[in-house]
Amino acid sequence: MNKEEFLKETQKLNIKVTDTMLFQLETYADFLLKYNEHTNLTAIKTKEEVYLKHFYDSLTLIKIENLEEGSLLDVGTGAGFPGLVLAIVFPNLKVTLLDSNNKKITFLKECIKKLNLKNVETVYSRAEDYTRVHREEYDFVTSRAVADLRILLELNIPALKIKGHFLVMKGNVNEELEKAKQTMRILSSKIMKQEIFELPNQGGLRTLVNIEKEESTDLKYPRTYDKIKKKEIS
């Protein structure tokens, strides 16, 4: 996907990418690919793939939620997807990028400084440690292809305000949704919307799920990651 195709497809999402935003995205792409030559950030090696599988893919969240404003936590952000892209295109959205890989956080700090963004911060921490302390602070939490949905629910739901939304980004998620039913029930959350679609240019299947938090989360969640991974909550 070249820049012209990117702009055409984002228009279909009813997103207006300004010249300033496009310049920031281009700078981001160049810096990412250059940095990736010495530090492993992404398996993607071309700018066309960055525009399709990182930039456009990140912005498809608009299909399931209005992200014009509010606060968003991106758990396991990696090289900034989707959180940093959302911060560029939605300047009134306050974004926190969370990752436990310090090399990726170092990259993000340099990139944010280069892009002169004021609505985004980085946090170096494990997800369960951060959400255990920052409870019910965020309007939105998202994670892109980080872990099994059952695990992500317990890690992420505690950080959401009541009536906040966990925005799931996956490929085929049907099996994970079935396994996560009990976890959603115990964490007082429910599916509000689901979108299944193909990325342009045969870029692959994507599933987005919008899960709303209905009540406060019990203080015993999240458990440690080892416990979350070993056993479903009951």
pLDDT at 190: 97
Please name the residue that has the structure tokens 């160049």. 30
Among residues 152, 133, 129, which one has the least CA distance to residue 142?
A: 152
- The alpha carbons of the chain give a radius of gyration, in whole angstroms, of 17
Give the number of domains in the chain: 1
CA distance 146 to 11: 28
The answer to whether the beta carbons of residues 97 and 74 sit under 8 Å apart is: yes
CA distance 20 to 22: 5
pLDDT at 203: 82
Q: What are the structure tokens assigned to 164, written together?
A: 């906040």
Q: What are the structure tokens assigned to 110, written together?
A: 């340099």
**Residues contacting 43, CB < 8 A, separation 6+:** none
pLDDT at 117: 97
Q: From first to last of the 234 residues of the chain, give the pLDDT tens digit.
A: 999 999 999 999 999 999 999 999 999 999 999 999 999 999 999 999 999 999 999 999 999 999 999 999 999 999 999 999 999 999 999 999 999 999 999 999 999 999 999 999 999 999 999 999 999 999 999 999 778 999 999 999 999 999 999 999 998 888 899 999 999 999 999 999 999 999 998 888 999 999 999 999 999 999 999 999 999 887
pLDDT at 59: 98
Which residues, listed in sequence order, are joined to residue 97 by a DSSP beta bridge?
A: 74, 122
Domain that holds residue 17: 3-230
The answer to whether the beta carbons of residues 216 and 162 sit under 8 Å apart is: yes
The answer to whether the beta carbons of residues 206 and 169 sit under 8 Å apart is: yes
Strands 189-199 and 138-144: unpaired
- Rounded to 5 degrees, φ, ψ at 197 are -160, 170
Q: What are the structure tokens assigned to 33, written together?
A: 């690919």
Q: What is the CATH number of the domain that holds 61?
A: 3.40.50.150
